[in-house]
C-alpha cells in the first residue's frame, strides 16, 4: 500500500500545481481528474477494509466488493458537485467523465507497477479496456442524471438504478478479465467497442 501512496503523490503533485496556476474553467477540469485519482486511493482502502472484515480472498474481493466500492466512490464527487453548485447537465456529464479519467489513469499505473509492463500489446489492451470500462460506467450514471434531471422525485431513485447498472457491468468486466489472456482481451475489447458506439451515436445527445 505504501508504494501506491508514493505513486499517488508523484502523479498528484503536478496536477495540484496546475490547479494553482490555471484559470477557473481549466482548474475545474483538473480538480475532477485529481478527485478521480484520490477516489481510487480511497477505494483501495475501503475495499481492503471490507475484504478483511468479511474474510474474502483476492478473487472474491475483485468480483464482488471492488465494483460496488469503486462506482460509489467515483460518484461521490459528483454528488457534492450537484448539491453545492447545481451545474448544468452537460457540465455534470463532463465532470463524471473526468473523474473516470483520473480513476482509470491511477488504476492503470498501479497495475503496471505491481504486475509489470513488459508486453506492449497487453498494456495497450488493458489500458484502453480499463479506461473505456470506467468511462462507460460513468456515462451510464450520467445518462441517468441527464434523463431524470427535470424530475426531482425520480432523480435519486433513478440515478441509484443507473448506478447499480454501472456496478453490474464493472463486476462482469472484472470477472472476465481475471481469466486467461484471451479472456482478458475479450473482456477489454467489449467496453472499448461499446464506448466507441456511444461516441458515434449518443455522445452529442448527452
pLDDT digits (tens, 9 = 90+) for 150-162: 777 777 777 888 8
pLDDT confidence tier of residue 188, bands split at 50, 70 and 90: confident
Q: What average pLDDT does range 175-198 have in this prediction?
A: 82
54 to 57, 59, 175: CA distances (angstroms):
9, 13, 19
Instruction: Report, in angstroms and rounded to the nearest whole number, the Rg of the chain calculated over CA atoms.
Output: 17
Residue with cell 486511493: 41
Q: Determine what percent of the chain is predicted with pLDDT higher than 90.
A: 28
Question: Does pLDDT of 87 surpass 80?
Answer: no
User: Of 62-66, 70-74, 95-99, 197-201, which gets the smallest average pLDDT?
Assistant: 197-201
204 vs 95, higher pLDDT: 95
Q: Which structural domain range is residue 177 located in? A: 2-205
DSSP 8-state class, residue 178: T
Question: Does pLDDT of 205 surpass 60?
Answer: no
pLDDT confidence tier of residue 66, bands split at 50, 70 and 90: very high
Angstrom distance (rounded) from CA 60 to CA 44:
15
Q: 46 near 28, Cβ under 8 Å? A: no
Q: For the chain, what is the domain count?
A: 1
pLDDT digits (tens, 9 = 90+) for 90-117: 777 788 889 999 999 999 888 888 777 6
200 vs 72, higher pLDDT: 72
Residues 6+ apart with CB under 8 A from 187: 129, 173, 176, 177, 179
pLDDT confidence tier of residue 203, bands split at 50, 70 and 90: low
Amino acid at each position: 500500500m505504501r508504494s501506491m501512496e508514493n505513486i499517488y503523490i508523484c502523479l498528484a503533485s503536478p496536477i495540484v500545481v496546475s490547479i494553482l496556476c490555471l484559470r477557473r474553467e481549466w482548474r475545474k477540469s483538473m480538480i475532477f481528474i485529481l478527485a478521480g485519482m484520490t477516489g481510487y486511493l480511497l477505494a483501495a482502502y475501503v475495499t481492503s477494509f471490507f475484504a478483511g472484515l468479511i474474510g474474502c480472498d483476492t478473487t472474491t474481493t475483485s468480483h464482488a466488493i471492488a465494483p460496488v466500492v469503486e462506482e460509489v466512490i467515483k460518484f461521490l464527487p459528483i454528488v457534492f458537485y450537484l448539491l453545492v453548485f447545481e451545474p448544468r447537465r452537460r457540465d455534470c456529464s463532463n465532470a463524471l467523465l473526468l473523474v473516470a479519467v483520473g480513476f482509470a489513469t491511477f488504476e492503470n499505473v498501479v497495475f503496471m507497477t505491481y504486475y509489470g509492463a513488459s508486453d506492449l500489446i497487453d498494456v495497450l489492451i488493458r489500458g484502453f479496456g480499463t479506461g473505456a470500462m470506467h468511462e462507460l460506467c460513468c456515462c451510464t450514471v450520467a445518462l441517468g442524471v441527464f434523463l431524470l434531471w427535470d424530475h426531482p422525485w425520480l432523480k435519486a431513485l433513478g440515478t441509484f438504478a443507473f448506478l447499480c447498472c454501472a456496478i453490474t457491468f464493472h463486476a462482469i468486466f472484472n470477472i472476465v478479465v481475471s481469466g486467461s489472456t484471451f479472456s482478458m482481451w475479450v473482456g477489454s475489447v467489449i467496453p472499448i467497442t461499446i464506448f466507441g458506439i456511444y461516441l458515434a451515436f449518443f455522445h452529442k445527445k448527452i
